[in-house]
Structure formats: structure tokens, C-alpha cells
Structure 1
Amino acid sequence: MSWHGRAILANGWATFEGRTGDNRPHAHHALQLAVGMDGEVGIRIADDEVRAPGLLIGADVVHVLLPTAGRLRLLFVDRESQAGRRLSAGCRRGFRVLDARTCAILRALWPADDNPDALQPLLSALACPVCPPRAHSDSAALARVRALVDALPHRERLDLPQAALAAEAALSPSRFAHLFRGMTGLPLRPWLRWLRLQRALRLAATGRSLTEAAHAAGFADAAHLTRTVRRHFGIAPSTLVSLLARR
């Protein structure tokens, strides 16, 4: 059974809307929120099957997302993000069942584009608000970090070490790391990993081979890209590329 629908990939999160297909047992670095549109959603954990109007699945929990005849919506949130840490607090047993009333609210608030701010109402509905970055007195340092954040997606290399970027911003590595995480909601390394995933998959969606796309985004080879995609989403890159291409 194949996947049908559309996906959006952004820094620190991804969404899918449609019908799920085959997927093997997997555990991904991101937390996963699943909400049924035409019925219940289901997962298999160990030998147990759980079905409900909606489910929140914790990071690194081995599971299978059961194929659905109806549509559903999935949201993946990096566990190292501010949002991910708050969602994890409500998922201590590995998963959390969401009732029909909660799912109705979530469906109404689901993000429709790749603007990170679109996640705020959805996460607030889960009682896991994303705390805004605290104000800092060093506005010049913030401006330099913001300039780097805006420029990095357009750079050829996405594997620069934190020390090099800190030096570029004229900051110590620890100060740069603090300001960067406060601004983006993610540490530098996972933020760059999501950026590399976006670049590789979008290149593949334009017809580039998986090997070419992997190298262009800083992955060692196609196998490295495949492992990263499966670790995050539990499906093959070719499946995700086809879903992104349908946007």
C-alpha cells in the first residue's frame, strides 16, 4: 500500500496530509503527532495495537504507523527544539492518546504553510506553548546571528563547524550557541541537519539523482541520506520526495 498526499518540510518540523502506506518498524528522532481526518489513526508498538482519534508518539519509540483508508495529518517536531521539549513532557509513556475534542481543535489549527510561526497555535492547543526567546541587551550580537541564520540556507556548504560560524559573528562559541538556540529554537547541528534534508529532497524532487542530491546537501552519499530520512520519518527518500513534489 503506497502513500498518497502532500508533505511540507521546514527547519525543525515537517507535516504530511493524506493516506499513509507501508512502513516498517522504526523510531525517529522527531516526535510525531498523528490526527485522523476521516476516522481513527493507529500504531503498533511491540505486540500491541493502539487506535484513537489522535496520537502523540515520543522520540525514539519503535513503532509502525498502521495504514489508513481515510486521510490523516502528521506533524514531526525535532525533540531538541523548544517545541519538542515541551511535547516530550506530555509523552512520558512513549505515546499519548488524544481524544476527539482535542483532535477537532488541532485540525482547525493545523499549519497550512512552511512558516514556523504557524506552529504556535497548534502547540498551544496541546498545552505545550513555545516560549519566545528572551530579550537580550546585546542587539548588535543578535543582529549578526540573525544575518547568519538568514544567509545559511543560501550557502553552498552546510557543514560548517560552530566555531567557524561563531568567529564569523565575532562571538565566542558558547555565546553564539546560546543566541542561536534562542533565535531558532534548535541547536546548530540539528538545525543544519534539517536544512540539509530540505536541500537534498528538494533537489531530488526536481529530477536530480539521490546521489547528486545527497552530495549537494553535504551528505556522504545516497546511503547516508537514506539513513537520515528513515531515522527521521520511517520511510524511504523516494516516497518523501514524491510527496514533496505534489505540493
Structure 2
Amino acid sequence: MIKIYWDKDKISMLTDQIDAVEHKHWALQLFLSLKDNLDICISGKRIRCKGVVVNGNVSHSFSSDSRLHFSIIIGPASDMASQLEKIIKSEDYYIFDNPDIVEAQNLAYELVHNNELDAYHSLISRLYDCLGINEQVKIYDDRIKELLRYIECCNCDVQSISTFADKVALSPSRLSHLFREQTGMPLKSYIQFHQMQKAFLALLNGENITKAAMLANFDTPSHFAAVTKRMMGMPASLFLKDSVFLKVYDV
């Protein structure tokens, strides 16, 4: 099964169908087992635990081995990413395996038969508690805040850094430098993350892969498929089979 929760600053997934070869992406990623320990390889090291957050741009591979688990791809410019980066610092990963995690596992298991968004929010709240972080809004430079609003509301017809730079009255190089300084990731990578969000929202609304890729301004459907494989560990086509998409916020 695949159940995807499309949140404003995170993509959460409950599934037993992940089989991701070694890869890396700029987003942080959280993995939570529902019962047995996870078995994940991070930077060539095999890790067994109930919960782990993999730092951005760190190589990792993971197979669910037909066992359900819950994972979150965390928006790189989100408050959650900002707080976790302070905990993880320069380490490749952070294991959270305290006694409270059992309740988080139980809440995650409830999602198997419960599509109510309140159940999802309860799990996210418990995960925040397990990680020792709070739900808060990160404060950015006004120009970066303006940029993030432009990107969130754009229709993806123009995705060039120079176009966004004009909108916030900065040179492309200065904007790229400032964005990376404030978020820790390249602006080009963030724009691609946003495109993937748009494409999956199109899939959620019933479009096929070709139309979804076009609406999100990917070069080709295969480009969209490659980004999806890298970011989520599964081919885009798999999300069209036995999948449940749930919007956590209104777009």
C-alpha cells in the first residue's frame, strides 16, 4: 500500500513498497518503523533503529522489505528542517529512539485504516515531541520570504533563477548566495522540489504522468520520473497504483 500526505512543507508517506538504491537529495528525510526496527544504510553504514532523520545531501539506501513504515521528506526551507539542522549539525543522521516513540508508532499504524487528517496531525505532533522540537515559523530575510511566496504561488511556467531575482530586486548570483546562506541548499534544488510538489498535486487531481510533468514544467516525463525516484525512492508510475493521496492543506 502507498498512502501519501501532501502537506505545505513536507511530503509524508505510509508504505511497504520502498526499494531505494543509494541516493541523496537536499531535503532531510525522517524514517519511522511501525513495529520492527528499520534497517537502513546511511553513508555506507548499516543502521538499525526505530526512528532516524537523515541529513540533507547524505547518501542513503533503504528497502521496506514489505514491512510498513512512515517517512517524511522535509521541505528544506521549513521550520522543521531548520530546527532539525540545529540538532543534527554536521552529522549524517540523528537517531530518535526514546520511549515516547512507541506512541508515535501506534499513531502511525492507525493511519493504515484511518484517512482522517486529525489522525495524521496527531502523529506529526507526537513526532515533534519525540524529536524535541516545536511547531514554529522560521524567520527569513524579507527578500527570501518574498521569494518563497512567489515560488509557492507560481504556476511553474517560468522557473528560472533570473526571473525570480527580478521579482525581489537582486542579481541572480546574489539571490542564489542569499538563499543558500539562509536555507542551506541551492535555490535550483528548491525550485525542483517545488516542481515535484506541483506534479504530484496534479497526479492527486487525476492527471496522468505526462500531463503532470508538463504542468510542473519538467523538461520531459522521464525527467519528472528521475527526480521522483531520487527524492522518494520509487518510480512515479508506482504512485498511480494502489495509492491514496491526501491533501493536508488547500492549494
**TM-score of the superposition, structure 1-length normalised?**
0.69
Counterparts of 1:3-14 in structure 2, within 5 Å, are 4-14=1-11
Q: Quick one: which of 13, 17, 20 aligns to 2:17?
A: 20
Mapped to 2, the partners of 1:195 and 1:70 lie a distance apart of 29
Deviations 1:121-166 (A, max 9, x none): 6335412335435699x9xx9xx959x94995474635265x7568
Q: Which runs of 5+ in 1 are unaligned?
A: none
Question: Structure 1 residue 199 and structure 2 residue 198: aligned?
Answer: yes
Aligned partners of 2:27 and 2:237: how far apart in 1? 19
2: CA distance, partners of 1:153 / 1:239: 28
Identity across the alignment (%)? 16
Report the Cα distance in structure 2 between the residues aligned to 1:243 and 1:61, rounded to whole angstroms: 30
Quote how far apart the aligned CAs of 1:73 are. Answer: 1.0
Specify whether residues 202 and 81 from structure 1 end up closer, same or farther in structure 2 by C-alpha distance, changes over 3 A only.
closer
Report the CA distance shift for 1:101/1:128 in structure 2 as closer, same or farther (over 3 A): same
Q: 1:51 aligns with which of 30, 33, 48?
A: 48
Match of 2:86? 89
The structure-2 alpha-carbon separation of the partners of 1:85 and 1:135, relative to structure 1 and needing over 3 Å to count, comes to closer
Q: RMSD over aligned Cα, in angstroms?
A: 4.4
**C-alpha distance in structure 2 between counterparts of 1:156 and 1:85, whole Å:** 25
Number of equivalent positions = 233
Question: Residue 219 of structure 1 aligns to which amino acid in structure 2?
Answer: F
Q: Where does structure 2 lack aligned partners over 5 or more consecutive residues?
A: 112-116, 247-251
The structure-2 alpha-carbon separation of the partners of 1:224 and 1:98, relative to structure 1 and needing over 3 Å to count, comes to: same
Checking the alignment, whether the CA contact within 8 Å between 1:202 and 1:244 is kept in structure 2 is no
SS in 2 for 1:61: coil
Partner of 2:60: 63
CA distance in structure 2 between the aligned counterparts of 1:93 and 1:133, rounded to whole angstroms: 22
Cα deviation, residue 191, structure 1: 5.8
Please name the residue that 1:123 is paired with: 128
| CA deviations over 1:210-237 (Å, ceiling 9, x no partner) | 3332121111112321232223222211
